């Protein structure tokens, strides 16, 4: 359906923005960049991923921290400051 495909598109764009900003972006900023209202972003994420925006940014940061710990010599404090 149209709503489902629109929600998938918004969700993909939100994931991209989270990656591009290393998780340092707000729901408002995402909505602004996508030229949609915050409620549309929130609904799309819930429909497609079943998760809230804050959960997605937290998951991104945790996964990025895990990758940095496994694949770099960076100290935990440096990774924490970076993320």
Residue 14 tokens read as: 């939100």
pLDDT surpasses 70 at 2: no
pLDDT digits (tens, 9 = 90+) for 25-44: 999 999 999 999 999 999 99
Whether the pTM exceeds 0.85: the reply is no
Provide the total of helices (H) and of strands (E) in the chain, helices listed first. 5, 0
Report the largest interatomic distance among the alpha carbons of the chain, rounded to a whole angstrom: 47
Name the band, by pLDDT with cuts 50, 70 and 90, for residue 80.
confident
Q: What per-residue confidence (pLDDT) applies to 81?
A: 85
């Amino acid at each position: 359906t149209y709503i489902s495909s629109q929600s998938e598109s918004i969700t993909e764009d939100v994931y991209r923005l989270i990656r591009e900003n290393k998780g340092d972006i707000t729901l408002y900023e995402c909505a602004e960049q996508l030229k949609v209202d915050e409620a549309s972003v929130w609904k799309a994420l819930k429909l497609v991923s079943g998760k809230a925006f804050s959960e997605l940014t937290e998951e991104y940061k945790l996964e990025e921290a895990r990758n940095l710990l496994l694949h770099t010599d960076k100290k935990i404090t440096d990774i924490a400051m970076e993320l």
